[in-house]
Every structure is written in C-alpha cells, then in structure tokens.
Structure 1
Amino acid sequence: MANVTLNTEQQLYVLDHGHGYSCFGFANARDHANQMAERLKRPDLAFGEADFGALSGYQKYLAAVEAWGKSPLSRKTYFDPATDPKAARVLERCQEAKAKVRLILGDTATGRTWLDEHDVVGRIGRSTGALKVPLLIKPGTDAGIAILTACLLVIIDWESGEFLFRHPRYRAPDLLIRLVEDANRPWEVLHDEQVVARFPDIGKAGAYVAFMRGETVEPRIFQ
C-alpha cells in the first residue's frame, strides 16, 4: 500500500508508491466517499467534519471503495460525482452500441470548452476493478483512458454528427483565423484574443476550427 502524506496548501493526498508519486484531491476523496456511502446506504462511510484534509478522510475513501467492490453495485458503471445523469445514460447507450463518438470536455459551470484535440474520439468502454469507470477507446486499440465524466459538455455521434448530449451551459467557442508573417505556420487561430493553434495552410486551420466547434472532422487532417 502507498505511503500517504498531506499537502494541505494544495489540498492533496500525496501517495508514495515506492517507484513514483501520485496525488488525489481532498475534495475528490470526500465527494467519491460520500457518493458511495449514499448509494450503499452506509452513512458510516461518509466524511465527517474532521475527515476533510486528514488522513482519516483518505481511509474513508478506501473503505468506501472496498465496500463498493463487494456490493452488487460494482457490476454497474461508476460515474464521477457531479456527472450529468443525461450524459451518463448516453455513455451507457454508446457503450452497448459500440458506437464511435466525439467528446467535448470543459468547465460545466461556464460552458467553456478546453479545446482538446487529442483523446476525444473513439468508442466507449469500461474499466475493470472495484470502480468500473467509462473509458474512451481510440480507434485501432483495445486500451482506453478514463473519461472525466463530470466535465462532459457534449457527446457527438461520429457517423451522423448528431449531438447525443449537450450540456445546457455549453457554448461553441468563437474562433478567429488570421494570417501573420510566419514562413512556416502563417495561419493562426485565436480564442478570446489568445493564439491557440498555428497551421501551415488555411485548410488545416479551417478544419481545426470546424472540429473545435463540434464538426466530425478527422483530427489527422489538421494535426
């Protein structure tokens, strides 16, 4: 088991695995433990006032995961706290249908996208273990990465371009293409007056803008 210490300034549990370190936020531990405690009907697993920012809080989280893994609920997909229920249902349907999708993630409080271009296209899978979380499996592979389901703004069917889920606060980003004096990459894309990408030709810049606004454009066209 990892040795756990506290970083109170950044509100993190720091896990020393012997061969490297990882971090887990105080708020994450609390929210996950409380969610599992509620669904398991085990109030003893929920955070108390003294657990936030204490080692006892991380132990509560581990106990909740262990209890979840021993319950029938462990056979179901586990979603992050604050995941929109509609997004969760769409992900489940996409997993069953083995459908290829495009994900747009960002800040659900503002609807602002993170403008991710990597690891956002693939089919939906599910991890193993006590918490079976949704995975995005890229085309041509069997492995996947965990989806930040609480940060989903849009889920798009890749074949039809249909928005299967759209967060009520989502707004397509306003992007501007401009020509600058650069011999290698003269076409810039700006978002909120900040340069977010540069391209050697306007076709790639246009494809990037279309992709970031939700069109099902193959990323390899502009990457």
Structure 2
Amino acid sequence: MAAEVMLMNEIEATAAQMGIDMNIDFSSIQLPPGENFGIISDDDDVYHDEQLELDSGFGNVIVVDNLPVVPCEKFENLEGVLRKIYSRIGVIKEDGLWMPVDPETKKTLGYCFIEYNTPQEAELAREKTHGYKLDRAHIFVVNMFDDFDKYMKVPDEWAPPEIKPYTPGENLQKWLADEKARDQFVIRSGTDTEVLWNDARQSKTELVYKRTVRVLD
C-alpha cells in the first residue's frame, strides 16, 4: 500500500505540471464503520525493505480521456462500466482505477487513471480501447501515462532542426553521367566477368573491369 501511495503522489505531481486539477473532496467519502480497506496505520511497524516492490516508472498506468462527466450519485455506475471493459484485458490493481472529481461541482472531470499489474497489460489496453465508442458522444482517447512526461518535454517555441554538414557518399550511378554518353554492358563467360564501355561512335568497346573466378577442384 505504501508503494501505491507513492505512485499516487507522483501522479498528482505530474498532473499538477500539466495544469490538471486533481483535488478530491475526501470529506464526502464515507467508509463503512470499522473498515480500513487494508490500510495499515503508520504506527504499526510491519514493513520490511525486502517486501516493498517499487516501480521505476508508470509503464503500467494508462490515462483514459473523453469519459462522461457524471455527478457523485452516478460515479459507481461509471466506475463499474470502466472496470467491466478494462478488466477483460488484464488484472487491474486493487484501488487501481481512479477518477478525479471536481471539488466545486462534485462531478467527474472526464478522465481516469487505470493501473495494471504489468506494462504489457497496460499497453494492450491502450491498443484495444483507444477509439472505443462508449456512446455517440464519448469515444475513448487512451494514452500511456509515461507518454505525458515526453509531451511535457516538448519546448513551447519551435526551433529549427540542426543541419548536419553534407558528406557525399559513393555515387553508384556515376557511369550514367559519362561525358561521352556511353553505355556499359557486362559479359559473363565461364569464370570470366567483364564490364565494358560501348562507344557507338568509335565502333569499339573499352574494357572497364575484368575478373576471373577461380574454381576449386
């Protein structure tokens, strides 16, 4: 659970850089009496370093955009629909589906984060559901969460690409630019290969290249 808290904190930090309001009114969330959903108190010294598995990135998290904006009373219905769609593709982590809510309107913001067990499941979910038509007005736009870091690094102002100095390579068609407008032709006979110029004006050929292939007994 500690690893999941760290993951959520990093998601919130990245979302803040993008200008996305991730504030949630936690006072509106009511838990059943005596239920802690597996959240262990910080006072309980039960964690060991070898038990913590921290991800180095967010390769297993996708962002699903263009969702319906619904009030709190329809939150569970929308979450159930999303879980039904995305749990068919892979295993969603416990508490791995998160829809931010506008603290003023108490409505969802039209997107959610889904965390899978593996990056492979997340990539497959993006591939399978990007462009998925929930209804006429809501077509899913799905991105990998890691991609947002790449998008944030795109400079605001365009800069021309660096022009590297030209380095000419070997001209394999140099013979086409022969100053005498001659053609080349090849003769192969047995083990011999010859390349010759054909000069129609001189009624004779000019040897350019000759090679004899030695045949091993």
TM-score bin (small chain): under 0.3
Structure of larger gyration radius: 2
Return the structure number with greater strand share: 1
Q: TM-score, normalised by structure 1?
A: 0.21
Q: TM-score, normalised by structure 2?
A: 0.22
